Amino acid sequence: MTNPQRVAVCVITYKRPVGLRRLLEGLHALTFRGTAPAVRCIVVDNDPEGSARAVVEAVQTGFRWGLEFVLEPARGIPFARNAALRQALPDAEWIAFIDDDEEPRPDWLDELLRVAHEHAADVVAGRVDPRFESPAPDWVVRGGFFTRRSHSTGGRLDRAATNNVVFRADILKSLDPWFDERRALTGGTDTHFFRRAHRAGSRIVWANEAVVTEVVPDSRVNAGWIRRRGFRCGAGATRTELDLFGRGGGAALALAAGAFFLLRGSLFALPAAWVRGRAGWVKHVYFVYYGAGRLCGLVGGAYEEYRTVHGR
């Protein structure tokens, strides 16, 4: 009989006690069709005051899996992610990430691992479905602003995100550094990490049945936040491509994408508003901000989206 797979489930958190408690309860309820892996849940608190410790201690008694608390006082998502990786190694064979504003389905981790083995994958990304904290306005739902792209199970990808992913710990050997700590609060370091992994030879596939639900707070359900997210994503994409393809290739991609989205958004915002109402208008304004972010990223422009905490 072989030993169970060793899996570290990593959660980074910052002042979201309600979400963290909900997530840990979801991880406690994970189910497996065969032999359950040896699971360790690692919570990295990015609040220097250690506010998440009380939540972890409150659920620790009776928790089905190993539960570890790590304090990472250096503020920023990549600092916390790297702290999680250091804690997971050298024991883990597989490392999963899930966000503190999410809740997994009971078979979430089982599906990620199943697809990894069936498709000989090094990285498996799964689906994230939104659940609004309060009923969302009709234009938000029709615009699909919080609906993330999905794929067929087993489909090949060139990137992934840490909101729903598992990967072989061995891929870390080819990535130095891991998550880019130069981008502490701007986001996008997970895309940067997994695109580098793909270029280093890692096989990334999709698992459409590995589902987590993201709770969307009221503070994000507005046109201002959507526009700012567009700029942040555009600037982050440019910074990633400059790193991957150098100043020449990266700049060419950014210029082309920036011009395309600025033109598309500017030309079609009014017609889209006429046809689809506010949903169409905001979608094309998002394109304008994304295009502007692509161009501003060429000169170091960025938006520190994660300086502000959304959700509880």
Does residue 236 share a domain with residue 142?
A: no
For residue 299, give the DSSP letter: G
User: Rounded to whole angstroms, how far apart are CA atoms 182 and 76?
Assistant: 9
Question: Contact 13/98 with Cβ under 8 angstroms?
Answer: no
220, 248, 283 - which closes a domain: 220
Does residue 239 share a domain with residue 108?
A: no
Q: Is residue 312 part of a domain?
A: no
Tally of domains in the chain:
2
166, 189, 220 - which closes a domain: 220
Question: Cα 83 vs. chain centroid, distance in angstroms?
Answer: 16
Q: Is residue 78 part of a domain?
A: yes
pLDDT of residue 2: 53
Q: Is residue 289 part of a domain?
A: yes
Q: Is residue 37 part of a domain?
A: yes
Does residue 137 share a domain with residue 50?
A: yes
Does residue 153 share a domain with residue 11?
A: yes
Q: Which of 145, 140, 196 is nearest to 171 (CA)?
A: 196
In tens, the pLDDT along 8-53 reads 999 999 999 999 999 999 999 999 998 999 999 999 999 999 999 9
pLDDT of residue 1: 38
Give me the mean pLDDT over the 185-199 stretch. Answer: 97
In tens, the pLDDT along 272-291 reads 888 889 999 999 999 999 99
Q: Is residue 1 part of a domain?
A: no
Q: Is residue 81 part of a domain?
A: yes
CATH of the domain at 117: 3.90.550.10
Does residue 269 share a domain with residue 186?
A: no
Does residue 267 share a domain with residue 209?
A: no
Q: What is the pTM of this model?
A: 0.95
User: Rounded to whole angstroms, how far apart are CA atoms 82 and 276?
Assistant: 43
167, 188, 220 - which closes a domain: 220
Give me the mean pLDDT over the 228-238 stretch. Answer: 97
Mean per-residue pLDDT of the chain: 96
In tens, the pLDDT along 294-310 reads 999 999 999 999 999 99
3-state helix, strand, coil split of the chain in percent (to 5) is 45, 20, 35
Please give the residue range of the domain that contains residue 123: 6-220
Does residue 277 share a domain with residue 173?
A: no
Does residue 176 share a domain with residue 27?
A: yes
Does residue 237 share a domain with residue 117?
A: no
Does residue 119 share a domain with residue 17?
A: yes
Structure tokens at 79: 């600092």
Looking at the predicted structure, is the pLDDT value of residue 3 above 80? no
Q: Is residue 186 part of a domain?
A: yes
Q: Is residue 266 part of a domain?
A: yes
In 95-222, alpha helices (H) = 108-118, 138-143, 189-199
Question: Cα 2 vs. chain centroid, distance in angstroms?
Answer: 32
Q: What percent of the chain has pLDDT over 90?
A: 95
Does residue 235 share a domain with residue 175?
A: no
In tens, the pLDDT along 84-128 reads 999 999 999 999 999 999 999 999 999 999 999 999 999 999 999
Does residue 298 share a domain with residue 202?
A: no
Per-residue CA distances from 125 to 61, 153, 159, 185, 277 (Å): 31, 10, 9, 23, 34
Question: Contact 204/156 with Cβ under 8 angstroms?
Answer: yes
